[in-house]
Structure 1
Amino acid sequence: MPSRPVALLLPGQGSQYARMAAGLLPCEPVFAEAMDEVFTAWGDAGRGLRAQWLAERPEPPCDHAAFAQPLLFAVDYALGRLVRSWGIEPVALLGHSVGEVAAAVLAGVFRLDDAARLVADRVARSARAEEGGMLAVAATVEQLGPYLGEGVVIGAVNAPLAAVLAGPEAPLAKVAWRLASEGFACRRVPSFTAFHSPLMEPVLEGAERMIAAAPRRAPGVRLYSGYTAAPLSAAQAVSPAYWAYQPARPVLFWPALEALLADGDKLLLEVGPGQGLASLARRHKAVRAGHSAVAALSPARPGTQEGDRQALVKARDVLRAEGYALGR
């Protein structure tokens, strides 16, 4: 019998890179089929997105929301489907930013085609937002208090010493200079958009109507919210306002992870490009003590087709070591 149940972590903006997980196309038919389902849901635009995904130098560039948001959603969803094809049913899902939309599809809140339209609408709206960006800082929320203002806010709490600021470009650049000059380690998050800040509020007006027209259901598996830091209730999961204004709200990944692991030991499996969430989860006391464990389906850094395959093999080996009899 497996020693620990599996919970899926689904990454968002900042995890994207060219050809992410594309090395799995020739050898993982379930993944390939799921990616095709998402591209088909986007119609004519889906063919262009598929070409962007497979390009060595995509245009628009990887860090642009028009590339990152839809393709992160697609890869997260397809890798989640791949895990389920192995006979593994996760007991919980925790998505970061757009990863939570992919998690909602896997949990049965949205149909795939409706979630794909939600993501496409979000991308179109973000293109109308004021120019901005995001800044990852090795600091606590309390330490960052004096640097907030002029539209710069806490956009994400990823770990006790890992926060993200978001806001308009000029004030954010000024804050980045101040932080660096005062000894804080910081780096720009790969994003041309100030997601998870009030800068997004104006362009999100009206998104509720489109979401309200789509069928929605209570999650069939526990879905942890990066916005409430708790499992989504049935009422929250079907609320158009919750999903419409998600891109303007801060992501509370670490508090949500705390809630997930407080519910019992887990094998945390990152399903998406890179290992950003896995590296954050490894800082948790439950993981450091060996009570919970972490694995990822993708390599830590972009690489070759063989690197994609090897990362998947390692993840399957971890699952077997946990006692899971994989479907193939």
Structure 2
Amino acid sequence: MPLTAQQPNPPVALVFPGQGAQYPRMAAGLYEHDSTFTFWMDEAFRLLGQDGPRLRREWLAEVPSAQYDDVTVAQPLLYAVNHALGRMVLGWGVRPAAFLGHSVGEFAAATLAGIFGFDDGIRLMRERVVHFADTPPGGMLAVAAGTEDVADLLGEEVHLAAVNAARQLLLAGEREPLDRAARELAGRGVICRRVLARQAFHSPAVDDAVRATLHGFRTVPLRRPDVPFYSAGTGGPLPEKEALDPDFWAWQAARTVYFAPALTALLAAHDCLLLEAGPGDGLSRLARRQPRVTARRSFVQPLVPGDRDDREAVDEVRRRLTLVAAGDRHDRPGHRHSRGD
């Protein structure tokens, strides 16, 4: 039966956003309202140790500090919020058809898919932010162009950080080279804007920081994902070799994100409701350009779009998705969505 926009209980694929998706009080309206979300956010702050209280204050502040977009704040909060929202959706009885994440969102997706445990994920995140905070000042630039349009700007100083859609890229680099690239693109009439990031993720500028984290990644038990997993690191289904390779997960933060090819592969294999189970609707806007979505073979839904009340938005999605819980559990008794809790 073809999928329809009104179909109850459609197959659901969960997608999770990365750096740049953060905004003040992202999904905070659910805190102390939804018990599952609250539990996992509190668990994240506990595992973050002495940084936990500071990060909780940053997250709940109406006006956070100037450090909010820095790796030391944005990355652990994005990981925690993505993970807690994913846990909340799984707690409704949703059994995902697939997982996909963008940048640090892929880290959350891997945790929810059972590739590594949440305790280990938080530990790796703590190690990551220490080393990435010492990288040269830089950032990322969103560019409304294709790869051929920016090829002459790429080199030792400016790098292709992400392919998000056919004509939606991210460039990364240290501050001055990235500013020069932005001025050049503006002169060509190309629309571009700075992403909310202070580090040049997904570029060689962070290679030294990745090398410093390799040992920590190599101490973490890795497992095959519980459900189909699509990787923006590989641009398609995640091969078992990469899933079980700690170096793949460490270098993920320095390598190009191929979100568009990975999403295309996911939608080719699954007619589904694509649920952006993270803060904002950035990935939803990208997904709506996909041919399988424009052809209404699949549909897109942000969970907490950020422009409406968090509780209202989540309640609306939940009403649509909760009816399958008992049936799915009976289909596969004892199935768990994640290991290592």
Aligned residue in 2 for 1:43: 49
Q: Is the 8 A contact 1:108 1:220 kept in 2?
A: yes
1:218-259 deviation per Cα after TM superposition (whole angstroms, max 9, x unaligned): 111111111101222222112111111111101000000011
For 1:214 and 1:70, the matched residues in 2 are separated by: 18
Once the two structures are superposed, the pairs formed by residues 14-25 of structure 1 within 5 Å of their partners are 14-25=20-31
**d(CA) in 2 for partners of 1:206, 1:278:** 34
Distance in 2 between residues matched to 1:4 and 1:141, nearest whole Å: 35
Q: Aligned pair 1:156/2:130, yes or no?
A: no
Q: Does structure 1 residue 97 correspond to structure 2 residue 103?
A: yes
Please provide the CA RMSD for this pair: 1.7
1:138 has 2:140 as partner: no
Identical positions, percent: 49
- When normalised by structure 2's length, the TM-score is 0.90
3-state SS, counterpart of residue 18 of structure 2: coil
- 2:255 alignment partner in structure 1: 249
Superposed displacement of residue 67, structure 1: 1.2
Deviations 1:256-297 (A, max 9, x none): 001101112111000111000011101111111111011111
2:316 pairs, out of 307, 314, 326, with: 314
Structure 2 unaligned spans of 5+: 1-6, 328-341
Does residue 172 of the first structure (1) align with residue 178 of the second (2)? yes
Matched positions, count: 321
- The structural deviation recorded for 1:133 is 1.0
Distance 1:183 1:227 in 2: 30
| Deviation at residue 42 of structure 1 after TM alignment | 1.4
Deviates more, 1:226-235 or 1:16-25: 226-235
Structure-1 residue corresponding to 2:191: 185
Amino acid at match of 2:39: E
Given that 1:218 and 1:233 are in contact with CA atoms closer than 8 Å, whether structure 2 keeps it comes out as: no
Partner of 1:29: 35
**Cα separation, 2, equivalents of 1:292 and 1:211:** 36
Conserved 8 A contact 1:95-1:226:
yes
Kept in 1, the 8 Å contact 2:26–2:306? The answer is no
Residue 77 (1) aligns with residue 79 (2):
no
Q: Give runs of aligned pairs for residues 101-112 of structure 1, distance below 5 A.
A: 101-112=107-118
Paired residue for 2:273, among 250, 267, 270? 267
Q: Give the alignment partner of residue 284 of structure 2, picking from 278, 287, 295.
A: 278
Asked if the contact 2:92/2:321 (under 8 Å) is kept, the reply is: no
TM-superposed CA distance for 1:150, in Å, is 4.0
Moved >3 Å (runs of 4+)? 1-4, 317-320, 323-327
| Number of the residue aligned with 1:202 | 208
Q: Which has the larger displacement, 277-286 or 37-46?
A: 37-46
* 2-structure distance, mates of 1:170, 1:70: 27
CA contact (8 A) 2:140 2:200 kept: yes
SS in 1 for 2:105: helix
Deviates further, 146-155 or 219-228: 146-155
Matched letter for residue 195 of structure 2:
V
- Deviation at 1:189? 0.5
TM-score (norm 1): 0.94
Answer yes or no: is 1:86 the counterpart of 2:88. Answer: no
**How much does 1:324 deviate?**
4.3
Q: Distance in 2 between matches of 1:223 and 1:290?
A: 23
Q: Is the 8 A contact 2:27 2:81 kept in 1?
A: yes
What's the CA shift for 1:3? 6.1
Contact 2:75–2:129 (CA under 8 A) maintained in structure 1: yes
Q: Distance in 2 between matches of 1:97 and 1:33?
A: 24
Match in the other structure for 2:335: none
Q: Structure 2 residue aligned with 1:125, among 128, 131, 135? A: 131
1:168·1:199 contact (CA, 8 Å) conserved in 2? Answer: yes
Cα displacement (A) at 1:2: 5.1
SS at match of 1:17: coil
Letter paired with 2:99: L
1:72–1:98: 8 Å Cα contact kept in structure 2? yes
Q: 1:85 to 1:281 in 2, by over 3 A?
A: same
The offset of 1:299, in angstroms, is: 2.2
Q: 1:5 aligns with which of 3, 11, 14?
A: 11
Q: Check conservation: 1:137, 1:186, Cα contact below 8 A.
A: yes
- Please, which moves more after superposition, 227-236 or 182-191? 227-236
Secondary structure (helix, strand or coil) at the match of 2:224 reads coil
Q: Deviations for 1:147-191, whole angstroms, at most 9, x for unmatched residues? A: 223410110000011001101111110110010111101100010
